[in-house]
Amino acid sequence: MAAAVHDVVGLLHATMTIYYAHVDRAPVLVLGATGPVDRNKRRPYIDWIHTAQVNGNAVRDYTKWDDQPATVADFPASFARAYRMATTEPCGPVYLCYDAGLQEEKLARPIDVAEVAAAARPSAAQADPAAITRAADLMARAERPVIIAEFTGRHPDAVGDLVALFVLALDVGDLSRSLNELDRLTNEKRSRIPAGTPIVDIGLSELRQSKWAEDLGQFQPVALSIVADTRLAIPVLRAAVRERAGGRDRSARCAELQRKHDEIRARWERDAREDWDASPLTAPRLASEIWSVIKGEDWILTSNTLEDWALRLWDIDGPRRHPGRSFGTATQIGTSLGVGLAYRGTDRLVVDIQPDGDLLYDPGALWTAAHHRIPLLVVMYNNRAYYNDWEHQLRVAQHRGTPKENARIGQEIDDPAPDFAMLARSFGWHAEGPIADPAKVRPALERALEVVRRERRPALVDTIVRHRQEKRFR
């Protein structure tokens, strides 16, 4: 995607978003400007405070590349390189800064862009064949090897082969969640897997660009690390493992995995019914109500997953249903609008489960959705708190022996409680709420869906959800 930012001020406003584009490996072309580099062309005051040497310094630590072309003739080549850099895996944001003085100059002649527009993009990185062979040998001999395949869901064509590997009795997990469990009170980690388990890491994390951001996480020793684009590596690895597996009978193992899978699903269904009629709602009750309304639609869930209950209770039948949660903590309404805008004009239903604290950071996004007729179904995950930090304060209080009731200070969004439905209606949305009675949620969602479908405009249902239960291990 591309985003235009206004000069120094716009760039500084966008720094958090650009950083999270880096964290999430999102290919973004950030297009900005500076005041006239030629000081003789600057207006008093405003052009001087909007000119920097150089703008790119503000975001250089977390962009893949930045450039400020010195001539108009260099604009096409600079743009072409930026596009290649942003969209070559591992993807990331790039920043282009255009001198306002150059932008205002009359062109002496047309600028030919045909050659740079036709230039080929780099091919994806394939794995070392010897590494694939070794990985296949490890997997064929191991009982339950673990595959760490970064950002595979970004490319739906790779997911089928990844699932096929699982059918071959190879577990698929990600590095941070699958291998270690965090004690949130002591910050100590304990392994989720037995000692000696062979781990094959396939991905592009070693090619990340930033020397400033510490977003790679703790170093995790593995048996084999393969630098490759998973779109290319996984199909080759699958074929190699299948060749070594031969005609081995896997029916007993598949049946055992199916039994465990069914047990887990049954436990989730039971757990979801706990405090079913509680007010405020529980997260699983809200997830269940949303699913009951949208399950017949061609839907996509944007970001928040209601404490993972949407992933447990909904039928996630492929990567097109959910792009994944952000690795950052930026306000997600912008992400939801982007997805909604991308699917405007189609029959795809875009669902945003929207935290209240996040929306308070960017209520203007509601106007953007209404103005551009983005048909978005927003269901508020409203616990009237900045609860991520509140929960942290509870752990700090427990650790230090200070009063836990003070954790709410500066974190509670109440007295007065924001009326998000009224706010949305003021921007032209259909909106209902706040709703704390579980029995009233589904009818409100059905009415909202009807507006999205019939009128092609955004709708919001403000549902009040109780604070999640504290968990020591996560």
pLDDT value for 232:
86
| 173: β partners | 148
Other C-beta atoms lying within 10 Å of the C-beta of residue 272: 18
pLDDT value for 1:
83
pLDDT truncated to tens, each residue of the chain (474 aa)? 899 999 999 999 999 889 988 888 889 999 999 999 999 999 999 889 888 888 999 999 999 999 999 999 999 999 999 999 999 988 999 999 999 999 988 888 898 898 888 887 888 888 899 998 988 888 777 766 666 655 766 776 666 665 555 422 232 334 545 677 777 777 778 877 777 777 788 888 777 767 788 777 777 777 888 888 888 888 888 889 888 877 777 788 788 888 998 999 999 999 999 999 999 999 999 999 999 999 999 999 988 899 899 999 999 888 888 877 665 565 667 777 777 877 788 889 999 999 999 899 889 889 999 999 999 999 999 999 988 888 888 888 888 899 989 988 988 899 999 999 999 999 999 999 899 999 999 999 999 999 999 999 999 999 999 998 777 665
Return the residue matching tokens 């595979």: 152
pLDDT value for 328:
59
**DSSP 3-state assignment of 431?**
strand
- List the one residue out of 392, 49, 23, 417 whose CA is nearest residue 208: 23
Other C-beta atoms lying within 10 Å of the C-beta of residue 419: 14
pLDDT value for 377:
95
Cβ pair 137, 244 in contact under 8 A: yes
Predicted structure pTM score: 0.85
Return the residue matching tokens 């400020």: 68
Residue 121 Cα distances to 47, 52, 88, 233, 352, angstroms: 37, 32, 8, 19, 34
Cβ pair 429, 459 in contact under 8 A: yes
Alpha carbon 104 to its chain centroid, in Å, reads: 38
Q: Which residues contact 124 (CB under 8 A, 6 or more apart)?
A: 89, 229, 231, 232
Q: DSSP E strands: which ranges in 27-120? A: 28-34, 65-67, 93-99
d(CA 85, CA 104): 27
d(CA 463, CA 352): 13
Q: DSSP E strands: which ranges in 183-233? A: 189-191, 199-203, 224-227
pLDDT value for 315:
94
d(CA 30, CA 96): 6
The phi-psi region of residue 25 (left if phi > 0; otherwise alpha if psi is between -120 and 50; otherwise beta) is left
Amino acid in the structure at residue 428: G
From the number of C-beta atoms within 10 Å of its C-beta (0-12, 13-18, 19+), residue 12 rates as: middle
Amino acid in the structure at residue 442: R
H/E run at residue 123: none
Q: What is the CA radius of gyration of the chain?
A: 25
Which is it for the CA torsion 408, 411, 415, 418, positive or negative? negative
Cβ pair 301, 153 in contact under 8 A: no
pLDDT value for 168:
29
Alpha carbon 49 to its chain centroid, in Å, reads: 34
